[in-house]
Each structure stands twice: as C-alpha cells, then as structure tokens.
Chains A and B, each alone.
Chain A
Amino acid sequence: MPQRVPQQAGGNPAGGLTRRAFLSTSMALAAAAGAEFVTGQAPALAQTRTLHVLEWSSFVPAADVLRDQQGAEFGKQAGVKVTIEHINANDLLARATAAIEGRKGPDILQLLNNNPHLYAGGLEDHNQLIAELGGDKFYPFIRDAVTVDGIARGVPYFFGGGANTYRKDIFQKVGIDKLPDTWEEHLAAGKKLKKFGMPIGQTLGHTFGDAPGFAYPLLWSFGGLEVDEKGKVAINSKETRAAVDFVKEFWFAACDEGGLAWDDTSNNRAFLAETIACTLNGASIYFVARYTPEKTVPGMADKIGHFLMPRGPAGRFHTVGPFSNCITTYSENKDVAKDYIRYCHQKEVYEKFLVTNKGYINGPLPEWQEHPMWEADPAITIFRELPKYGRRAGYAGPYDRKAAEVWAKYIVVDMFAKVVQGESPQNSIAWAEQELKNVYERA
C-alpha cells in the first residue's frame, strides 16, 4: 500500500507511491518468493488445502487427461488444490519407499497388484471406505490385494489385464484360419508368422506389466506353482519343467528375439511400426491406432483384433493386477484424500473414466462388466472376460508381502529369460527355486 512518508531531500516522486514504499513492497514480495524458495512451501498467507496424488502414467493418454480434469473438478468443489502427478509405473515403488520412509510426499499413492502389502506400515486403515464403496461386492482377488491382516490398506480403483493383440490381415495372409486356443496352436501360428518376417513379440525384461503378464499365466497354465498352499516353495516340478521347455522352443521358433530387453512400451512401438504381428498387451495398442492414427501406418486400427491367453494342460489364466489408491499415514490431508476417493468412485465420475479407457481397464465391482460400452466396439469386448481367468501372484500361497517381493524381483520372469539365453532348464529352475527360498524361507 502506498504510504505517505516524510519529505526526503530530493523531493517526492510524482504520485503517492514513494521510493521507500516501493522498496518495502517489492522487498516484501521478494521475501515471500524467497520464503517459498527457502522453505519449499507457499507462505502462510497464500495457503490453501492441497492434495498430492501420485499415480501411473496411463498407457491410454486420454485417461490421464481425464484424471487431471476430474481432479481439478473435485478441487473446485472442495476448495482444494489438487496435484496429480503421473510417472512411469516402474518408478512407483521407489517413490513410495522414499515417501514412506521419509514420512513426506504424496497424500495418495497409487499402488499396483499387492504392493500395499509391502507398504502396510505406512498406509492408513481403509476398511470404512471399502465398506462405503461396495464392501463385499469388490472382486475377492482385488480385495486380497489390499487387505493385510484384515485391514484394507487401500481402495482398489480398477484393474487391467492383457490379451493377445494381433493383425487380422497378417494372420489371414500366412494361413492361420483359427485363432490359437492352446499353446501348441499358438506355437504353430507363431512359426508361420516368424517365417513371414513378422513374428510374435514378447518381452521377458524387467517391466511391470507385459513380462509378468506372460510369465505367470504361462507357468500356471502348465500347472506350475511358485509355492503350495502351505507356503512352501514348489516351483521345482515337472509341470514347471514342461513350461520352461515350451518357452525355450516357443521363443526361438516364434518370437522376436530382441524381446529380452523390451519394456512395456517396446512391443507397442514394434507392433505399430509393423515389425511384429502379435503381442500380449492391454488394449492400448488398439487405442493408439484408433485415436492417434498418425503414430502408425494408415488403416492399422481396423486390422487389429484380440484373443485370450492360450490354454495349457491346467487351464487358461490371466494376471489381473488391481491399481489401488492408498492414503499414507504421514499425510496431513487425510480427510480431503478420503473425499477425493469417494468422489472418484461416484457413478457418473467412474463411468466417464471407464468409457474413456475404452476397454483398457475393468471396474473393481462386477456391475461395471455390464456396461454397454463393452458391446460398442467389438475389438475390445474380449477384455471383459479377463476376471473369469484371473489369478494372483503367489498362488497357491497367500497373496502377501513375499508374493509381492517375488513379483518385484522378477524371479518367475527371469527363470524363463535365462532359458532363452542358453541356460539349461534344470539350472534355470534351480536358480528360481533358490531365489524363491531366499524370499519365502528367510526367517
């Protein structure tokens, strides 16, 4: 505010704003800006309530945009400044560790699969929220993902899964008349594709989605298990051996051998650049082809179809990993966080989210499977079937911290990767057994 100050030698400048007033105001502003820099927080005068959400960067770009919009909407209604931070899903765990150990960071962490078990010590009790938002109607396997010793440490928001994305025209060209239903059929189809120059593309690298999404169901479909019901390591079995032998043959006969180092984006790029004709993935490849066609060759979207994981002697399986919103114990905005989660689960809000993802995700409650969206685009209808074949990591033991650790260490994925790199099947299985024992049988 301009002030009148006693006349100084040299006279007042024109107008009421004196030099001293100008200096003091600008210094105050600079001090405030400096204070913000120094303390890392906005000065008290300007404080509003804030909410910092950390979540993955969706493979469906439009979903991220919608989440930000919905976050801003909620912020307006509740008088809160909402920041939604999207990062690569592979980095979520490291950020969660830093935040929970340092007791500072985002108010809501989005955690995948059963990672809430790893961080149970730093997450709130969500039992009441779960009861409010659907209670027993949540799919059992995603409730187990967040429930540690009877207490829910997060609220599952959605789950995704993969199916085989394939080129209808290429399959026709090489003479694959019927979509592969068993692994043998898949192998035969792959041989034809590789001979044609557009093989199957599969990652066996350390990436959170596509690699375990292939390795675990394959192991299960041959009857292999990580641990038995009593929690004892059971991977060294003839069923596992059958799976490993199969992968060895399958890889060299039918797959793009560069897949050892692919991350979750590499197969998308390869498919859209037409170097592979079939790959296990969520619906994001189709999504990009349909809604951002400049990222691929023209007409790609119409050539894409999807089919389920092939069946093995023990059945057909898919990994269905839930994404859950978890409120941290160190958060100073817990009530706001709870309101935000309630907001996200409101029918209209969630419906918009589901439809925007166009089949890439499934809702946490069975009622979302009935939504008309699933019928609207035949290319993605099949993703609705995934919960039927869902199984979780650590089967047949409990869905606990140890299962999460094995997943995070990519032990099952590496077992197959080793074989493909020349290790003998016995040694690969023995290695996996030792690593699993290190996790499960460590005191």
Chain B
Amino acid sequence: METRVGETFRKRLVVFYIPLFLFLVALLFPFYWMLVTSLKPDFELYNARNAPFFVWHPTFSHWLQLFQNTLFTRWAWNTLCIAVASTIVSLFAGVLSGYALSRLTFPGATSFGIIIFITYLVPPTLLFIPLASVIAELHLLDSPWALILTYPTFLVPFSAWLLMGYFKTIPRELEECARIDGATRLQSMIKIVLPLGMPGILSAGIFSFTLSWNEFLYALVFMSSPQQKTIPVGVVSELMKGDVFYWGALMAGALFGSIPIAFVYSFFVEHYVSGMTGAVKG
C-alpha cells in the first residue's frame, strides 16, 4: 500500500479509503439492484414496506420467464452478430483509413482527416429520421444489415483516430527496409504495420464492440419484427408491458443484457483502457 509523506492512517482513511469506497458503491449499486430485484418473488417485490436490500425467498422464476416467454435468446444472438459484424466492418474501414492518413501523403489527406473527425458533428440522434428513409430505399429495413452498415458511421471515426495514433509510433524505417527488399506498399502495410499495430487494433475492436452493443436509437427505428430486435430494444419494448410492469423479468433482462458485454470486456480491459486513453492523448 502506498504511503504518502506525512500521512497518518486517519488521514488516509478520510482522504482515500472512504471516498474510494463511496465511489465504488455509487458506481456499482445499480448492478447489485438489478441482481437482487431479478431474484425477488412478486410478493416481496411489490411490498413497499419491507427492507428492499435483501432477498428472503429468492426465486428463479423471473429468469425463467425471461428465457422462456420472451425472445431474449434470439435478441442476444442478434445483438452479438450485429456487434461482431459491425466491428469487423468498422475495423476494416478504420485500419485502412488510419494507415492511409498516418503513413501516406497524398493530396487531400488533411481534408479527409478532418472529414472523418467532423462526422461527430452529425450524431445518430440528428440523422435518424432521414436515415430511416435511406435505409427504406435500400430495402434494408428490419434487416440486420441496416445496423451493420450504419453502426460504423460512429465507430469508424473513433477507430481511425485511435489507429492513426498507434500507427504513427511504428518507425518508418521498418517499412522502408521492407520496400527496399522489394515489398509493395500493400505488403508492407499488411505484413509489418498491421501486426505491430495489433494492440491498437484490439483496442479499437473492443471499443467498437461495446459501442455497438450499447446502441439503441437506430435499432429502435429500423427494426420492427420481434425476431430481429436487439437486446436493448427488445427489453425496453417488450418487457415494459401492461399496467403493472414485470419488474422482476425486466431487471433480469437488464442483467442478462449486461452480462455478455461485461464478460467480453473483462478479457480486454487493458486494451479498452489503453484505447480510450490513446485516443484521448491524440
């Protein structure tokens, strides 16, 4: 445990342990709440008087209701496929343009760089109404491709930005040596720069994956059949039913919708963090 100059235990408690503990509680309590609520039987759940923090008679009935009576597994599969596919598409576009913008000089390069950056001026919430008609014209409504092709619009700028930073750190000499040896530009990109930039690519990939999983508005507007929905849209539209919502099943849906992404992310935490910080640094 690190000790600072002249710091007593009491001071450390007040200045460090307690605030950190409070932050952790504040940040993690809602997840605990999701779990507890999904396990509470109805008579405990809708009783406004008893202590809500614990479950006295846990039940799996809400979990079962989620998996048996709704299309949750289908939604999970949809979300997974769409996230993977749009990550692949955005990495493809992001790697190629990141390489081009950081390693090649060609007229208009700065303008292209700015264009990619400027797309942040046009967020999904601005575009969704006219974009819906574009998607309709392409006959992609209610198809996963509507999302696989539109998610990269907000994934690519970030990936390109991040990868530009990574690629810039790879020494030019490596490529030059390879080209002296007779490699084409394309070969030197594929065989030298990409492998060395793999940590950056992984970072961009995990970031894109989590952002795709999180997306809501496009999925809400473009998808209509229950079989085609993603988890966020499915849980919100089909579990908030009726006069008295099914809170047990709803929280179970929220919980199980979050678990896959938290699970995947846990393997790539370092990449995620370095991706975030790498992008921010520049």
A and B: bona fide binding partners: yes
Binding site for B on A (CB under 8 A): 37-40, 52, 54, 57-59, 61, 64, 83, 85-88, 91, 95, 98-99, 101-106, 264-265, 268-269, 272-273, 275, 284-285, 288, 294-296
Min CB gap A337→B, angstroms: 16
| Residues of A with C-beta under 8 A to B145 | 38, 40
Q: A57-B242, A59-B242, A268-B243 provided; 9 other pairs, C-beta below 8 A?
A: A86-B238, A86-B241, A88-B237, A265-B242, A265-B244, A268-B244, A269-B46, A273-B46, A273-B47
Q: Would you list which residues of chain B between 115 and 150 have a CB under 8 Å from chain A?
A: 132-133, 135-136, 141-145
Contact B243 A103 (CB under 8 A): no
The answer for the CA separation of A37 and B144 in the assembled complex, in Å, is: 7
Q: A98-B132, A101-B133 are in contact. Are A295 and B144 (CB under 8 A)?
A: no
Which B positions have Cβ atoms within 8 angstroms of A? 42-43, 46-48, 81, 132-133, 135-136, 141-145, 221-222, 224-226, 228, 237-238, 240-245
Q: Is the pair B225, A52 in contact by a Cβ cutoff of 8 Å? A: yes
Chain B residues within 8 Å of A61, by CB: 242
Q: Give the Cβ gap from A193 to chain B, nearest Cβ, in Å.
A: 18
Q: Among the interface residues B43, B238, B242, which one has the most CB atoms of the partner chain A within 10 A?
A: B242
Residues from chain B with Cβ under 8 Å of A37 in the complex: 81, 144
Which residue on B lies nearest to A293, using beta carbons?
A: B43
- Could you tell me the distance in whole angstroms from the C-beta of A69 to the nearest C-beta in chain B? 14
Considering the chains assembled together, what is the distance between the CA atoms of A61 and B46 in angstroms?
17
**Contact status B142-A264, CB under 8 Å:** no
Shortest beta-carbon contacts, A-B, top 10: A59-B243, A40-B143, A102-B136, A57-B241, A104-B141, A105-B224, A284-B243, A102-B141, A268-B243, A273-B48
**A37-B81, A295-B46 in contact; A272/B238 too (CB < 8 A)?**
no
CA of A88 to CA of B240, assembled, Å: 6
Contact: A87 with B244, CB < 8 Å? no
The CA-CA distance from A61 to B242 in the complex, in Å, is 7
Query: How distant is the Cα of A86 from the Cα of B238 in the complex, in angstroms?
Result: 7
Chain A contacts for B143, CB-based, 8 A: 39-40
Given A88-B237, A269-B244, residue A102 in contact with residue B228 (CB < 8 A): no
What is the minimal beta-carbon distance from B173 to any residue of chain A, in angstroms?
Answer: 44
Q: How far is the CA of A105 from the CA of B221 in the complex (A)?
A: 11
Inter-chain contact A272/B244, CB cutoff 8 Å: yes
Which residues of chain A have C-beta atoms less than 8 A from B46's C-beta?
A: 269, 272-273, 295-296
Distance in angstroms between the alpha carbons of A284 and B43 in the assembled complex: 18
A83 to B228 CA separation, bound complex (whole angstroms): 13
Q: Of residues B46, B144, B241, which shows the largest number of chain A Cβ atoms within 10 Å of its Cβ? A: B241
In angstroms, how far is the closest chain A Cβ from the Cβ of B42?
5
- The answer on a CB contact under 8 Å between A105 and B238 is no
CA distance A206 to B93 in the complex (A): 43
Cα distance, A106 to B227, chains bound together (Å) = 13
CA separation between A54 and B224, bound complex, in Å?
A: 10
Q: Chain B residues near A85: list those with CB within 8 A.
A: 225-226, 238
Contact indicator A288/B243 (Cβ below 8 Å): yes
Q: Given A83, A88, A105, which contacts B142 in the complex, CB threshold below 8 Å?
A: A105
Query: Can you give 12 contacting A-B residue pairs, CB < 8 Å?
Result: A37-B144, A38-B144, A59-B243, A85-B226, A86-B241, A87-B237, A88-B240, A103-B136, A265-B243, A272-B46, A284-B243, A294-B43
Min CB distance, B253 to chain A, in Å? 14
Given B43, B47, B48, B221, which contacts A275 in the complex, CB threshold below 8 Å? B48
Known: A88-B237, A265-B243. A40 touches B142 (CB 8 A): yes
In the bound complex, how far is the Cα of B243 from the Cα of A285, in angstroms? 8
Expressed in whole angstroms, the minimum distance between the Cβ of A291 and any Cβ of chain B is 12
Contact B42 A102 (CB under 8 A): no
Task: Say whether A106 contacts B244, CB under 8 Å.
Answer: no
Q: Is the CB of A83 within 8 A of B42?
A: no
Bound Cα distance from A244 to B192, whole angstroms? 75
Partner pick for A101 among B42, B47, B136, B228, CB 8 A cutoff: B136
Contact A288 B244 (CB under 8 A): yes
> What is the bound-complex CA distance between A106 and B42, given in angstroms?
33
Give the distance to chain A from B132, nearest Cβ to Cβ, in Å: 6
Assembly CA distance A394 to B48 (angstroms): 40
Counting chain A CB atoms within 10 Å of each CB, the highest count among B46, B225, B228 belongs to B225
**Complex interface: chain B residues within 8 A of A87 (CB):** 237-238, 241
Find chain A residues with CB under 8 A from B48 CB. Answer: 273, 275
- Cβ of A98: which chain B residues have Cβ within 8 Å of it? 132, 221-222, 224
Which residues in B have their C-beta under 8 angstroms from that of A268? 243-244
Minimum C-beta distance from A425 to chain B (A): 32
| Contact assessment for A95 and B243 in the assembled complex, using a CB-CB cutoff below 8 Å | no
Contacts of B136 in A (CB 8 A): 101-104
Nearest residue (CB) in B for A61 is: B242
B245: chain A residues at CB < 8 Å are 265
CA distance A39 to B242 in the complex (A): 33
Could you tell me the distance between the alpha carbons of A295 and B46 in the complex, rounded to whole angstroms? 6
Task: Knowing A38-B145, A85-B226, A295-B46 are in contact, say whether A102-B242 is a contact too (CB < 8 A).
Answer: no
Chain B proximity of A72: nearest CB distance (Å) = 15
Docked-complex contact A40 and B243, CB < 8 angstroms = no
Cβ contacts under 8 Å, B222 to chain A: 98
Q: Which residue of A lies closest to B128 (CB)?
A: A98
Which residues of chain B are within 8 angstroms of A86 by Cβ–Cβ distance? Answer: 238, 241
**Nearest-Cβ distance from residue B135 to partner chain A, whole angstroms:** 7
Given contacts A37-B81, A40-B144, A269-B46, is CB(A102)–CB(B243) below 8 Å? no
Contacting residues, chain A, for B43 (C-beta < 8 A)? 294-295
Which chain B positions have C-beta within 8 A of A103? 136
Contact A40 B224 (CB under 8 A): no
**Cross-chain contact A102 with B81 (CB below 8 angstroms):** no
CB atoms of B132 and A83 under 8 A apart: no
Contacts of A288 in B (CB 8 A): 243-244
Q: How far, in angstroms, from A38 to B238 measured CA to CA in the complex? A: 24
In the complex, how many angstroms separate the beta carbon of B41 from the nearest chain A beta carbon? Answer: 8
Q: How far is the CB of A54 from chain B (nearest CB, A)?
A: 8
- Quote the shortest CB–CB distance from B235 to chain A (angstroms): 12
Give B193 Cβ to nearest chain A Cβ, in Å: 32
Cross-chain contact of A91 among B47, B228, B237, B244 (Cβ < 8 A): B237
Contact (Cβ within 8 A) A58 B242: yes
Contact of B132 among A57, A95, A102, A269 (CB under 8 A): A102
Q: What is the chain A residue whose CB lies nearest that of B237?
A: A87
Q: Closest residue of chain B to A52, judged by CB? A: B225
Can you name the residue of chain B whose Cβ is closest to the Cβ of A38? Answer: B145
